[in-house]
Chains A and B, each alone.
Chain A
Amino acid sequence: MTAATAPRTARPSRPPRSLIGPLALLIFAAITWWAASEEFGLNFDVPRLFTNLTRGAGILAEFWPPDFSVLPRTVGPMLETVQMAIIASLIGCALALPIAFLASRVTSPNLTTYVIDRGVLSVVRALPDVLYALIFVAALSIGPLPGILALILFNIAVVAKLLSETVDGVDRGPIEAARATGAGRLLTVRWAVLPQVLPHYVAYSLYAFELNIRASAVLGIVGAGGIGNLINEFRRFFQYDALAVVVLEILVLVIIVEWISIWLRRRLV
């Protein structure tokens, strides 16, 4: 009743519908069609995905049961993988910290530094870690060192990018307060910005460590140390039951690292 008698004020007229949404959807669909089509793309169709899958069943069956007799041989390379990830994460993430501050508009001392730093980061990120590993293996011979160098570059690229974007979003109030006390730029970053982004930085670093363990499985295939060497060997000699052991080990390792990082993050935030 009150609703019927309440005075009705003029409603604003609806703004014209934007065509950007539907248009974007259309363009997206066209691009997908281009990638999958018979004429221009990969001639991809879903049913074939399943028929081909059953063809691999024979090979998949060879993974079972895992041949645990190779376990002792995997311990050394597995340990090397973890050690590579630890060293690369420590160095890479430490270097990423100052680079991230120079790559944020909030903390970069001037536009030139900002643009150069961002540019370098984009270039570093442009190449995948396996390519870096290939280059370093060519330059330094095989072993864990080229793998570590590749992972360091990878970590700088990932952590500095994520962290610089987090820095862009910090509360500017404490920065103004620090400037008002006469503190210089470095100490302003240390005391007004770093405490704000520290939990994020730790989380990103732990994430980088996880990625490093995974990545070193691939890096070994090009000769850059770690468990990958062994994966490559088992694969070449069709020892799929031995390969299954390595797959399980990586799975367990990554889950353990994930648990540790969840526990640490909860403690920090």
Chain B
Amino acid sequence: MIRFENASVTYPGGVHALKDLTLQIPDGQMMVIVGLSGAGKSTLIRAINGLVPLSSGDVLIDDVSVRHAKPKQLREIRSRIGMIFQTFNLVNRTTVLNNVLMGRLHGAGTLRSLLAWYKPEDVEIAMRALERVGIVEKAYVRASNLSGGQQQRVGIARALAQEPKIILADEPVASLDPPTSHVVMRDLQRINRELNMTTIVNLHFLDLAKVYGERIIGMRAGELVYDGTGAQADEHVFRDIYGRSLTADDMLGEAAAAG
């Protein structure tokens, strides 16, 4: 269970990215966050694993405070939270497998990891993660030689290799074309259902949010303005979240939906 308790984030420069947010996310939920750019979606996600420090309030994961965690505790917390990024954030110059093994660094032992002398178990976990996203045959290919969709699946495999309880995905499909977006979203949905990992996804395409979001929350100027199911979220709700009428740009289009 993830609990936000009056959590606020103020960036140096005075931007209030998160304002007094109180929110509970039960285990195993697939939650989608929608809102305009600058609404605080990325900040919310990064507050969960402490990449963005809170200014006040707290975030608790299974009743452990992220804000008051010591550096070592914080790394421990992060090791149980996988993260997926809009720009994939892979190391292009090295192999897919090395990128995925990054997910094993926390527990692998400093000397072994420095020398790339991984335990066979860790390599096996990484391979299984690649298998789950269907690109295990690319394990020894350089990450830069993959397509965007494949790169994002490596990003997902890296998160899975952590064997996490929670997956955070910050705009995971914003750099992908519509069909690939659905492939990646379906991967996330499958992981959520089959592995029962709490999955929190930032999206700005409303139709994707409706299809994949078991629960949708809307952010506007750092505040929670909507919290409900995907089915309840109709055009009026989105208009409210966006503070304007909707346009074609807010939709991914391409009716190909998921199951």
Instruction: Tell me the A residues contacting B by CB distance below 8 Å.
Output: 171, 173-174, 176-184, 186-187, 190-192, 195-196, 198-199
Q: A179-B51, A181-B102, A196-B93 are in contact. List 18 more A-B contacts (CB 8 A).
A: A171-B89, A171-B92, A174-B90, A177-B158, A180-B51, A180-B82, A181-B82, A181-B83, A181-B106, A182-B76, A182-B106, A182-B162, A183-B106, A187-B113, A195-B93, A196-B91, A196-B92, A199-B93
Closest CB in chain B relative to A267 CB, distance in Å: 14
Asked whether B158 lies within 8 Å of A176 as measured between CB atoms, the reply is: no
Given A191-B105, A195-B94, A181 contacting B158 (CB threshold 8 A): yes
Q: Is B123 an interface residue (CB 8 A)?
A: no
Asked whether B79 lies within 8 Å of A181 as measured between CB atoms, the reply is: yes
Q: Is B75 an interface residue (CB 8 A)?
A: yes
Given A176-B51, A177-B158, A190-B114, A183 contacting B105 (CB threshold 8 A): yes
Residues of B within 8 A of A180 (CB): 49, 51, 78, 81-83, 168
Asked whether A181 lies within 8 Å of B89 as measured between CB atoms, the reply is: no
Asked whether A187 lies within 8 Å of B89 as measured between CB atoms, the reply is: no
Q: Is B77 an interface residue (CB 8 A)?
A: yes
Asked whether B102 lies within 8 Å of A179 as measured between CB atoms, the reply is: no
Chain A interface mostly: helix
Instruction: Tell me the B residues contacting A by CB distance below 8 Å.
Output: 49, 51, 74-83, 85, 87-94, 98, 101-103, 105-106, 110, 113-114, 155, 158, 162, 168
* Minimum CB distance partner of A184 in chain B: B75
Residues of B within 8 A of A190 (CB): 113-114
Q: Bound state CA distance, A171 and B92, in angstroms? A: 10
Closest CB in chain B relative to A98 CB, distance in Å: 12
Given A182-B75, A182-B76, A190-B113, A174 contacting B106 (CB threshold 8 A): no
Residues of A within 8 A of B106 (CB): 181-183
* Minimum CB distance partner of A174 in chain B: B91
Given A174-B91, A195-B94, A181 contacting B78 (CB threshold 8 A): yes
Asked whether B76 lies within 8 Å of A192 as measured between CB atoms, the reply is: no
Q: Bound state CA distance, A174 and B83, in angstroms? A: 11
Of A178, A184, A191, A198, which is in contact with the most chain B CB atoms at under 10 Å from its CB?
A191
Residues of B within 8 A of A191 (CB): 91, 94, 98, 101-102, 105, 113
Closest CB in chain A relative to B159 CB, distance in Å: 8
- Chain A to chain B contacts (Cβ below 8 Å), 27 pairs: A171-B92, A173-B85, A173-B87, A174-B90, A174-B91, A176-B89, A177-B85, A177-B89, A180-B51, A180-B78, A181-B78, A181-B79, A182-B75, A182-B76, A183-B102, A183-B106, A184-B75, A184-B105, A186-B114, A187-B105, A187-B114, A191-B102, A191-B105, A191-B113, A195-B91, A195-B94, A198-B93
Q: Bound state CA distance, A192 and B89, in angstroms? A: 9
Asked whether B103 lies within 8 Å of A181 as measured between CB atoms, the reply is: yes
Q: Bound state CA distance, A191 and B108, in angstroms? A: 13
* Minimum CB distance partner of B164 in chain A: A181
Asked whether B89 lies within 8 Å of A174 as measured between CB atoms, the reply is: yes
Q: Bound state CA distance, A187 and B162, in angstroms? A: 15
Residues of A within 8 A of B78 (CB): 179-182
Closest CB in chain A relative to B84 CB, distance in Å: 9
Q: Bound state CA distance, A195 and B116, in angstroms? A: 12
Of A171, A182, A183, which is in contact with the most chain B CB atoms at under 10 Å from its CB?
A182
Q: Bound state CA distance, A177 and B15, in angstroms? A: 24
Q: Bound state CA distance, A187 and B93, in angstroms? A: 17
Asked whether A173 lies within 8 Å of B89 as measured between CB atoms, the reply is: yes
Residues of B within 8 A of A182 (CB): 74-80, 105-106, 162
Residues of B within 8 A of A198 (CB): 93
For the complex of A and B, the 9 pairs showing the least CB-CB separation, nearest first, are A182-B79, A173-B89, A182-B78, A183-B105, A182-B106, A177-B89, A180-B83, A182-B75, A195-B94
Residues of A within 8 A of B155 (CB): 177
Closest CB in chain B relative to A127 CB, distance in Å: 33
Asked whether A183 lies within 8 Å of B75 as measured between CB atoms, the reply is: yes
Q: Bound state CA distance, A198 and B155, in angstroms? A: 22
Q: Bound state CA distance, A192 and B113, in angstroms? A: 12
Q: Bound state CA distance, A199 and B83, in angstroms? A: 28
Q: Bound state CA distance, A192 and B94, in angstroms? A: 10
Q: Bound state CA distance, A190 and B101, in angstroms? A: 12
